[in-house]
Amino acid sequence: MPRAMIEAAGLHKSFGDTHALRGLDLGAAEGTILCVLGPNGAGKTTAVRILTTLTRPDAGSASVAGIDVLRHPSAVRQQIGVAGQYASLDEVLTGRENLGMIGRLYRLAAGTVKQRTGDLLERFELTDAADRPLKTYSGGMRRRLDLAAALMVQPPVIFLDEPTTGLDPKGRLSMWDLIAELARGGTTVLMTTQYLEEADRLADDIAVIDHGRVIARGTALQLKQSVGGERLEVVIDDEARLDAARRVLETIGASPAHVNAATRSVSVAVASHDGVLTRAIRALDEAGAHVDDIGFRRPTLDEVFLSITGRPAEEEAAEVPA
Amino acid sequence: MTSFAWWLRDSAEMVGRNLIHIKRTPELLLDVTLSPIMFVLLFSLVFGGAIETGVEYTDYLMAGIFVQTIAFAGIYTSVLLANDLQKGMIDRFRSLPMSQSSVLTGRTLTDLMRALLAIAIMWIVGMLVGFRPTGGIVPSLGAIGIMLLFGFALSWLGVAAGALVRTPEALQGIIFAVVFPLTFVSSAFVPTSTMPDWLQWFADRQPMTLVTDAVRSLTLDGAGGPAAIPAILWSVGILVVVFPLGLWLYNRRTTQ
């Protein structure tokens, strides 16, 4: 059994009347990626802020790399790298200056700082931009520099708060590769995300949180099975036939159908692909619903939420402390 | 290294960062360069002929301009700190195993350098329009020391204010509403003797007047005069209160 590098139990945190966390438990074993998945306002950022010593919880306990976060925050800070929306870099300094400053503040020797800075800039393809102020960087370059900053001391545990939010698909893919590579090298990663696809792709373990509590946890496979696996989605050409289409799909699928009138689409969970498309098209045709588009897709975070909580993931402004 | 040595090194790192900001955004120095020059020129050339002080008005004025500029530069620390708080820079520092108070000492030491620069510029411009510091070199250095001590105290007051008030914009307004009247209700630009009794009572006892009088006396007469000791006591007193208060407010703000 590999040792637990991140442990949190019963975390509570309120900001005035807003209860950001209400008894949150998390855990990650060495060298694994834990994805904390949830909508805006679920408490993701507050959880990460507590684990990275930035915020003190009202109740509960937490340890990182076996060190108590509340009792020994400075010792924890030597073991972690942090990247994300809340811990920013200096806009005015260049990429190289930012990394240099952070390396020195981690108390690395001057020679090590210089070498590490050069290595990281190269690895993250930022060498050409290294001597430009950060405010000239694109979103993707900034995220890469963020991650480089988190890796300055090769920490055993890193925290990434929504590392791909705002990135284009190419930037997102390259960020995924970098994160997966870290875990292969033995680093424990806790990352937050709003995208099920991202968690699916990277996570060894997923914790779905809502209203400051973990409402589901497991591997991506377990989670998707709990939602009903892949979904068959059909777009029909006539809104009046939506209800007919819903009835048809419910005889084929393995869950109640989800109807979206705005996009004239109906979706339903399916257990396997075998023969499903042919049967669906034939049955829909017989019911007089003409198919514009049909295909399989993975469940979205919305559907995970719908299935676990019985309601869609909603946006709430409970996340950001001052 | 001892923790004191680390604290010094981290503070120097913070000063270095702040100096790069100044180098890349020279506008950050306008409040300690252009505005005091404007004040020296406006007051000495426009008001100078109309105000009766018993000495050449430019000689009288310079101490007031010095202290006004130092006061604004000191309290401006709050805006720069609030900026860092707002932009998440402080959270970055707090996630690092560095000396946390060095963020504040680095900030206030940089602002002390800004104050010194302001004094140098005003001294030169003042001499161009007729300022003659006849008090001698050593008393003049003493005057600079008293001003820097005052500026450093106000800088820590700025730390407390920056940790307390949410946005840099709000701070700008507060500074304008509080510091401006204080500089005018003092001996900075006119003798307090022409003010109504109740106002004069206040003006004669508030730190701006005492620091200004001490600086004026040192630069013109070469002696501290009756204001020197109270001026130093005011600065030390402010520092004794706002230094721990600033640290406490900053810690409270950043650990929420």
Q: Where in chain A is the domain with CATH 3.40.50.300?
A: 4-225
Torsion of CA A140, A146, A148, A153, to 10 degrees: -170
Mean pLDDT (whole number) for B21-37: 88
What is the rounded distance in angstroms from the CA atom of residue B117 to the CA atom of residue B18?
15
Report ipTM for this prediction. 0.86
Separation of CA B213 from chain center: 16
What whole-number distance in Å separates Cα of residue A252 and Cα of residue A279?
8
Which pLDDT band holds residue A311 (cuts at 50, 70, 90)? low
Q: Do A97 and B21 touch (CB under 8 A)?
A: no
Has domain A4-225 been given CATH number 3.40.50.1100?
no
pLDDT band at A87 (very low <50, low <70, confident <90, very high): low
A72: closest CA of chain B, how far (Å): 11
Do the beta carbons of residue B74 and residue B152 sit within 8 Å?
yes
Q: Spell B111-127 as b/e; 16+ CB within 10 A means b.
A: bbebbbebbebbbebbe
The average pLDDT across A52-74 equals 93
Residue A70 one-letter amino acid: L
Q: What pLDDT score does A68 carry?
A: 95
What's the pLDDT score for residue B179? 86
Q: Is the Cβ pair B98, A101 closer than 8 Å?
A: no
CB contact under 8 A, B94 and A54: yes
* Selected residue of A14, A69, A99, A105 to mutate for chain B interface (largest B Cβ count, 10 A): A105
Cβ separation B97–A78 shorter than 8 A: yes
CB spacing of A105 vs B89 below 8 angstroms: no
Distance of CA A42 to the CA centre of its chain: 12
- Inspect the interface and report whether the beta carbons of B255 and A106 lie closer than 8 Å: no
Cβ-based contacts of B255 with chain A (< 8 Å): 54-56
Q: Do A133 and B13 touch (CB under 8 A)?
A: no
B256 close to A (CB below 8 A) = yes
Measured between beta carbons, the chain B residues lying within 8 angstroms of A49 are 91
Q: What is the pLDDT of residue A228?
A: 66
Q: Is the pLDDT of residue A90 over 60?
A: yes
| Residues in B 69-88 with any Cβ partner in A closer than 8 A | 87-88
Domain extent at residue B61: 3-254
For residues B151-177, average pLDDT: 89
Q: Is B97 on the interface with A (CB under 8 A)?
A: yes
The token duo for A322 is: 């001052």
How far is it, in rounded angstroms, from Cα A43 to Cα A46?
A: 5
Residue A93 contacts B, CB cutoff 8 Å:
yes
Average pLDDT in chain A: 86
User: pLDDT class for B112, splitting at 50, 70, 90?
Assistant: very high
With a CB cutoff of 8 Å and minimum separation 6, the contacts of B42 are none
Yes or no, beta carbons of A106 and B96 under 8 Å apart: yes
Say what the pLDDT of residue B167 is: 86
Across the interface, whether the CB atoms of B97 and A107 are under 8 A apart is answered yes
User: How much is the pTM?
Assistant: 0.81
**Which sign does the torsion angle of CA B231, B234, B240, B242 carry?**
negative
Say yes or no to pLDDT of B52 above 90. no
Higher pLDDT, A314 or A284: A284
Is residue B241 pLDDT above 70, yes or no? Answer: yes
Report the pLDDT value the prediction gives residue A111, as an integer from 0 to 100. Answer: 94
Can you tell me the mean pLDDT for A229-251? 86
B92 reaches A (C-beta below 8 A): yes
Tell me which residue in A80, A82, A105 faces B13 most closely, judged by beta carbons.
A105
**A231-236 sheet: strands from edge to edge:** A258-260, A265-269, A231-236, A291-297
Task: Give residue A322's pLDDT band: very low, low, confident or very high (50, 70, 90).
Answer: very low
**Predicted local confidence at residue B114, as pLDDT:** 92
Instruction: Please report the pLDDT score of residue B224 as a whole number.
Output: 84
Q: Assign a CATH topology to domain A228-298.
A: Alpha-Beta Plaits (3.30.70)
pLDDT tens digit string along B184-226?
Answer: 999 998 889 889 999 999 999 999 999 999 999 999 998 888 9
Residue A169, pLDDT > 70, answer yes
Cβ pair A54:B93 closer than 8 A: no
E strands, A132-230, in order: 157-161, 188-193, 205-210, 213-218
Shortest distance between the Cα of B92 and any Cα of chain A, in A, equals: 4
| Chain A 8-27, residues with CB within 8 Å of chain B CB atoms | 15
- For residue A252, what pLDDT band results from cuts at 50, 70 and 90? confident
Instruction: Give CA torsion, residues A44, A50, A53, A57, to 10 deg.
Output: 160
CB contact under 8 A, B10 and A105: yes
For residue A85, pLDDT over 80 is answered with no
Residue A10 pLDDT exceeds 90: yes
Q: Would you state the pLDDT for residue A188?
A: 95
Q: Which residues, at least 6 apart from B180, have a Cβ–Cβ distance to it below 8 Å? A: none
The band of A313, judged by pLDDT with boundaries at 50, 70 and 90, is: low
What is residue A301's predicted lDDT score, i.e. its pLDDT? 61
pLDDT of amino acid A174: 86
- How far apart are alpha carbons B191 and B4 in whole angstroms? 46
Cβ distance of B92 and A88 shorter than 8 Å:
yes
- Per-residue pLDDT tens digits for A112-152: 999 999 999 998 889 999 999 999 998 888 888 988 999 99
Confidence band for A166, pLDDT divided at 50, 70 and 90: confident
Residue B64 pLDDT exceeds 50? yes
pLDDT band at A13 (very low <50, low <70, confident <90, very high): very high
State residue A315's pLDDT score.
43
Say if residue A303's pLDDT is above 50: yes
Q: Which residue spans of chain A are classified as CATH 3.30.70.100? A: 228-298
- Residues of chain A with C-beta less than 8 angstroms from the C-beta of B95: 52-54, 77, 80, 82, 87
- Taking all residues of chain B, what is their mean pLDDT, rounded to a whole number? 90
